[in-house]
Structure 1
Amino acid sequence: MDTAELEDLRLATRAFIRTEVIPAEPRPGERLDPQVRRELNEKAKAAGVFAPHAPVELGGRGLAIDQWSPVLQEAGYSPIGPSALNCMAPDEGNMHMLELIATPAQKERYLAPLVAGEMRSCFAMTEPHPGAGSDPEALRTTATRVDGGWRIDGEKRFISGAIGAGFAIVMARTDESDAGPAGATMLLVDADNPGMTLGAAIHTVDRAIDGGHPHVHFDDCFVPDDAVLGEPGRGFAYAQVRLGPARLTHCMRWLGLARRAHDIALDRAAHRELFGSPLKQLGIAQSLIADSVIDMETSDAIITKTAGLLVADARAGSALSSVAKVHCSEAVYRVIDRAIQLTGGDGVSDGLPLAQYLNEVRPFRIYDGSNETHRWAIARRSSSARARAGVERMDIPHVDRLDVPQEATA
């Protein structure tokens, strides 16, 4: 899509969100009704803004990764916007991975109805402690080779979107003796498989992700050989194909929500008077507004750089997505928190949606790997890069004291 077409799509998405989606938003703290979602999906298709990231041949708009941000930010201006446009997690990330890795038969069975909005999906990797969480190497769910296929055994937790999903992409540990190298394997499991059952629901502060975050159990769960996604033993590599862009699309969508919060704050600052002056003319309010603009602009910039790098060099882009995830998850929280401060008591009430926005973005510092884990990885990569460059230490003279003339200290 060329630049002019992309701008047209961005503006069309903006108009759709404001005229169709925002009026359909549930009250703060409530979830989007599935029927309302289906109606919005059909309206998005008619408006030509549905599934902007998905393949054209399946009904999407076919945007490349480095074109996603302007459109997904517009979608994220409403908490339910990404669901209305079918570019919400975890489906958006699963679509991207299926497009790159799935066989033609798997694409027909899983990707096509997912893009069309006819079903939802989930990505089953996270497990109860001491299983996989921020450290995927701790994976405990197993997939064992059996006659005609694989047997999956294990428990997953916090599986976003699992309630009502049509299928799951399951990460399971496999041995070298089963097939391929030792490591993890991704398998496609239909929700009606008797070996896959939903467990206890996990009640969280966020509401925008359809299908909640429940436990999911796999007990003697048999899947045939054609359920393997990609090649056995390469699950960890495939996870990076999914997780790098998925981290970034979270940044895009929630940056859009931060812009909505900032607009609400600007409106209040323009019309509220304190001590004889409009709020927007008071220095402390101006400082809060300026800091939010800085946070949004720097977030936008790192998203753009990371998206471009994901297209040019997927490995380097995935590494930079850790930086983007940490920065944006904290920056959008600060923007919404400042908006609450600027709107005062209304900001913490259900008279404005800001408190719910804060609940939506707070988990992002944990989702897709905790920020602390990403900081550890960022520091490790920085040290490794220096070692690969052959730099042991900087040759900078050490100064024990400043040579300051005595008269300067008098």
Structure 2
Amino acid sequence: MSTHYLTTSSQGLGRRLLLLLAVAAGFMVSNIYYGQPLLERIGTDLGIPTAGVGWMVAASQAGYLLGLVLLVPLGDMVDRRALISLQIAATAVGGSVITLAGSQVAVLAGFLLLGLASSVVQTIVAYTAASSTPEQRGGSIGTVTAGVVSGIILARTLAGGMTDLWGWRSVYVLAAAAGVVLAIAVFRVLPREDAGRAGVGYWRAASSVFVLTRRDPVFRVRALITMLLFASFGVLWSGMSLLLSGPAWNLPPSLIGLFGLAGLVGVVAASRAGAAADRGWGQRVTGWSLAALLASWVALSLGEWSLILFIAGIIVLDAAVQAVHVSSQTMIVAGAGESASSIIGSYMVFYSVGSAAGAAAVAPVYDSWGWTGASVLGAGFAVAALAVWGLGRLRSSRTAGRGVARSAQHAGAE
């Protein structure tokens, strides 16, 4: 193996290895989003009633959440090269099950397995954090997150195009093939690690989401911000099709999918935010980005009258979300070392809950109050996130002030 690929916490990550991790993360997160524009096609092909097609997305998300809690913490205890390779290989199995599915039960099982295995995205992020030097950690996480953002955004467009050309099963042939190729590549390129590095029991690591939320104030604030942040994100991306396919614009699904391309600006934001966090500007980036998130909803709320303003709102919202997301991940893993997997997995539980809450809330709100109501909902989540950040900053300042006062008292006593 070429030494160019070797990575240790002292040497950091080589550029080619970082690129491989970003590509792998992008393909793996795509597995969660391929199915969203295909539900009607899959349901028609397999004879699944309209009321039941939503369970495919639910199965995928449930599998992903289980993976965050049960699989990602294993990265603190076993060889991450083997864990990442096995999880990626398991996505090939999940993709194959969906490809060959002939019933609702089979396709649901495939989506559940695919979601479970695709939680490897967060094992990759944790590996990136643990293997980077402190000086490059934020930038490295930003690069991998850029791959994740690209995967999320391009998955729907790619799935729609492939389905029009070759049918919906071709999408999961691609997912299975990508799983095989990337599993082999990662296993060959990543250096082997020693097992049992952290000396922490599995169930203790798996329950770290509760421990960290209770005991770690930095994690608690960042996790709450993330939950509200992605609730706002979920309101847009789950509610957008309701607006654009409705009476205001009557756009076909193929054109609606193209609106996701505007979110690619978030790739740049993710990379820049990571570099800023490395310079100690994480809090500043978070504050400005949350303010931008709130402002984006002003433009988005006018989406019934102007598509230009709506697209501008998408760009600002996605850039703000990714900037906060990368800053938060960089801050919570600072100094974590080999416990990064448990921390990242726990953090992403809040991401999943927020995304699901936003997606679930927007449909009934839109049904009752239209796009204006949906915009108020998205802005409300943004306001709450900004309030949590402000209260966290205020509490940190007070704690620091008390520490300075105590030091002054001790100095005076001496």
Shorter-chain TM band? 0.3 to 0.5
Structure (1/2) with the larger helix percentage: 2
TM-score normalised to structure 1 length: 0.34
Greater length-normalized contact order (CA 8 Å, ≥ 6 residues apart): 2
Structure (1/2) with the larger strand percentage: 1
Q: Point out the structure with max Rg over C-alpha.
A: 1
TM-score normalised to structure 2 length: 0.34
